[in-house]
Structure 1
Amino acid sequence: MTISKSLPDDKPRTFLGTPKLPAKYATIVMPFFLSILMSCIVSGISTFNGVGASPQFIELWLGAWLISWVVAFPTLLMVLPLVRKITGHFVDLR
């Protein structure tokens, strides 16, 4: 006889002490984090390429990152449906 332990459905799921958002918010949350990471990496590489390891690097990088993130997040929200459609032409999503 196997006894399976399962969590009660009424127990709230949390991450770092805050309740998780419902699944319907994934279409906003995923591009939010993707835009943060991608703009951070790209602006860092671009800033380093432009100014090198100068004393102002961090300040310049953070300024460039903020501007690029402000552009990247809404851009991702707009183009993600198109990217999903294009991906569907190349990948069997069944």
Structure 2
Amino acid sequence: MLPARYAPVLFGFILSGLMSLLVSAISTLRAVGPEADFLALWGGAWLAAWLIAFPVVLLVAPLTRRFVQYFVSEPGLD
């Protein structure tokens, strides 16, 4: 088990992996269609996308949290 302080990094790792997996699958399928080498092309696209997505998620997440808090009221102030 990891200490709780690693939760934001683990969350970003998993979220960026899943989102880049889905987006790269859709993009690769639209670009090449269901070809015989689709899985190999998709795998390469996914790894490249994940290498970019993970650090971006870590950098953008704090800004996004602040942005969301601007639009959401504090509990009990509704």
- Tell me the TM-score normalised to structure 2 length: 0.92
- Tell me the TM-score normalised to structure 1 length: 0.77
Is structure 2 residue 17 aligned with structure 1 residue 36?
yes
Distance (whole Å) between structure 1 residues aligned to residue 30 and residue 52 of structure 2: 21
Letter in 2 for 1:88: Q
Aligned length in residues:
75
**How many angstroms does 1:90 deviate by?**
1.2
Distance (whole Å) between structure 1 residues aligned to residue 57 and residue 26 of structure 2: 20
**How many angstroms does 1:91 deviate by?**
1.6
Relative contact order, higher structure (CA 8 A, sep 6+): 2
Q: What percentage of aligned pairs have identical amino acids?
A: 48
Which ranges of 4 or more aligned residues in structure 1 deviate by more than 3 Å? none
Q: Name the structure 2 match of 1:79.
A: 60
User: Normalized per residue, which structure has more helix?
Assistant: 2
**How many angstroms does 1:27 deviate by?**
1.3
Could you tell me which of 36, 42, 48 is aligned with 2:29?
A: 48
Deviates more, 1:20-29 or 1:59-68: 20-29
**How many angstroms does 1:92 deviate by?**
2.4
Is structure 2 residue 49 aligned with structure 1 residue 68?
yes
Distance (whole Å) between structure 1 residues aligned to residue 36 and residue 74 of structure 2: 48
Q: 1:47 to 1:93 in 2, by over 3 A?
A: farther
User: Normalized per residue, which structure has more strand?
Assistant: 1
Q: Which runs of 5+ in 1 are unaligned?
A: 1-19
**How many angstroms does 1:93 deviate by?**
4.6
